[in-house]
Every structure is written in structure tokens, then in C-alpha cells.
Amino acid sequence: MSWLLAFLGFAVLIVLHELGHFTAAKAVGMRVERFALFFPPLVARKQIGETEYAIGAIPLGGYVKISGMNLEEDIPEEHAHRAYHRQPVWKRVLVIFAGPAVNIVLAFLILWGIFAFGGRELVTPTIDQIGKGTPAAAVLEPGDRIVSVDGVAGYTSGATPEQLEERAGDLRSAINGDRTCTTAPRNGCKATEPVTIVYERDGRERTATITPEYNAQAERFLLGFAFGQQHDDVGPVQAASLSITGMWTVTRLTVENIVKLFYNSEARKQVSGVVGSYEATRQSFEFDTVQALTVLALISLSLGIINLFPFLPLDGGHIFWALAEKVRGRAIPLAVMERASFVGIMLVAFLFIIGLTNDVGRITSGEGFGIR
């Protein structure tokens, strides 16, 4: 069932993206020849009016064919006035922008719904789990509230959920500190300096001194406990604010990471492609529906943002050259756009190859996609 749900999720993202182009093109009077889900060869098609609706055999995308997108296209004279390249710049920008805009709006609506109807889970400086044999196991217990670590404030009554989550992060940093191992750094080595931890149990504050141990996987010093979470109900206005804040963070990181691909080998290792996105979504449906919807929202947002990069054949490339034409005052020569599109095609191919290579490597090595 998870395979089907993931497939349907991706299909919805594609359909809605192309539906944005399709609806905008129809609205401004352009002639839409075909609306296709997936790429050719076509396995099903139906003509309704002037538009053919089709389904392709390769489930890697979809497209809307608008008359005149190709400047060298032979268009019947009776339809020439409705061709894409004959339209004012504002109409062309609107039609192209509509696709990514739908993905961005869809991401917002999904995230807003998750927050508005399901609330959110915030980390709280209350111990939830303690690992066996860890430094914390000899002193702390599940349910203890961490009041402070080396003087860094943690739990206090009256603090807001947001403040408590921020303080939980501060406590983690205080435990790691600037500590070093008593020996050469290795997994399980003890820190040279202990931490003084104040915790509350059964309404009473207690103080203990515990020496953290280095965890090679986390690359930091730990005491061996995990903080718990508390549910926080939010209203529709706060849900909108949280969605926008989260989307902005993802957008900023997406742009930064794509730039890093050209000079940072570690960033290239983190890229995921269509296979990875699909598999992450499928695994999320197996684990938790809300998590799966969150993954789909982030994929939808990334699809919208990446499509707005100013390189042909991406949507942003069409917008860029339409605006360049407006500034120039006349059409951009086809030869210039063809040379520019080569750069865009190489960029898309670069991202696709890196993503596919990483995805195949994660699957064959058993590393997986971290959905748990």
C-alpha cells in the first residue's frame, strides 16, 4: 500500500504543477494543445475540444504543450494570435509562474493543515529515555526535569513551550561544551571535565556531577539520555506563521545547498533524486501519515523553488528571458536562448546524475534514507 500511496502523492504534485500552467494558459487565452501526466510514449489519450488529455508511460513528470512555446514551431494561421510567443510578457510570466506557485501554495496548505489540526511536538528539558550503561543511567531517571547544566538554565515553571525547546538545545550545548577526552578522541572516552547538573524529581531539586562520554557517531559528548516532547496546540494564525517560517528555512537551505554542490563534496553526498524522494515518501507512509505528508510538502516546496531557478528549461528560465525581453524592448534572439538553455540542461543533468547515484548507493549499501 505504501508504494501506491507514494506514487499517488507524486502524481498529485505533478498534476497540480501542470494544472497551474494549464489553468493560467486557458485563463489568458493561450491555446493548449496537450495536458499530459508523465512522459511519452503515450498510453492513453482523449481529445476534448482543442486540448488532448494524455497519460505517458514514463512516470517521471508531466507537461503542458502550449502553442508557440517553440519559436520555430509551425502554427496554423488561425491559431497564431494565441501562440505563447505572441503574448504580452505579463501573460507569459503568469502562465509559467503558475506551476511553481501551485507547488509552493500546496506545501503551505499541507503544513498549515498539519499544524492547525494536529498541533506540534516541541522538545522539553524533561528526560524521556536513558541508555543502559551510560553516564546518566547511574544518576538520572525518566521524568526528571533538567533545571540547569553548569549554570545554563533549563526547565522553569511558567516558561513557554518555545522557550523550553530552546533551552533544551542550550542544555545539549552545555553538556558538549569545549570538552576533550582524557585520552585520544575515540568512541566512549570520558571527558576531562564533568558537568554539574541540577534536576527536579518529585518536586525536589537535586544536584549531581556526571562525566560525559564522547559519542563518535554524534561527534559530541553526551550523558546518554533523550529529552521528551510535549504537545502544543496552535491556532490557525500561528499555524500559518509556523508554516511560512518553516518554508523560508527550507527555501534558504535549498538555495545554499545547491550552490555548495559546485565546491563542496560533502554537500553533493547529501543530494537525493527522484528515486530517493519517492522512497523517502514511501517509507514515511509506512511509519507515519503525518510524517509522509510533511515529506510531500517539502518535496512540493523544493519542486517549486528549484523550478524557479533562472535557467532553461526550468520555469524560472522562461520567466527570466521573458523579463529580459521586456527590459530589452524586443525579442531575444533564438540562438542566444538556445545557448543559455544548454547551461540549464547541463545543470539539471548534473543534479539528476548526482541524485540518482546517491540514491542507488543508499539502497545498495543498506544505508537507507533515515525515515524513522
Q: Kindly report the average pLDDT of the chain as a whole number.
A: 83
pLDDT of 27 > 60? The answer is: yes
Burial readout 10-32 (b: 16 or more C-beta within 10 A, e: otherwise): beebbbbbbbbbbbbbbebebbb
Q: pTM for the full model? A: 0.77
Distance CA(287)–CA(275), nearest Å, equals 18
Percent of all residues in the chain with a pLDDT value above 70, rounded to a whole number:
84
Q: Which residues pair with 218 in a beta bridge?
A: none
How crowded is residue 94: how many other Cβ atoms within 10 Å of its Cβ? 18
Average pLDDT over residues 60-82: 83
Tell me: the pLDDT tens digits for 299-324?
A: 888 889 888 988 888 899 899 989 99
Q: Tell me, what's the pLDDT at 360?
A: 57
Q: How far separated are the first and last CA of the chain, in Å rounded?
A: 18
Residue 85 carries which DSSP code?
G
238-288 pLDDT, tens digit each? 999 999 999 998 888 778 777 776 666 665 566 555 544 545 555 655 667
Q: Where are the domains of the chain?
A: 2-117+254-365, 120-232
pLDDT given for residue 367 in this prediction: 47
Architecture in CATH for domain 120-232: Roll (2.30)
As a whole number, mean pLDDT of residues 5-34 equals 87
pLDDT of 295: 81
Q: Give the 3-state secondary structure percentages of the chain, helix then strand then coil, rounded to 5.
A: 50, 20, 25
Per-residue pLDDT, averaged over 129-134, amounts to 90
Residues 103-115: tens digit of each pLDDT: 999 999 999 999 9
Query: Tens digits of per-residue pLDDT, 178-199?
Result: 888 877 778 888 888 899 999 9
Q: Which residues pair with 127 in a beta bridge?
A: 227
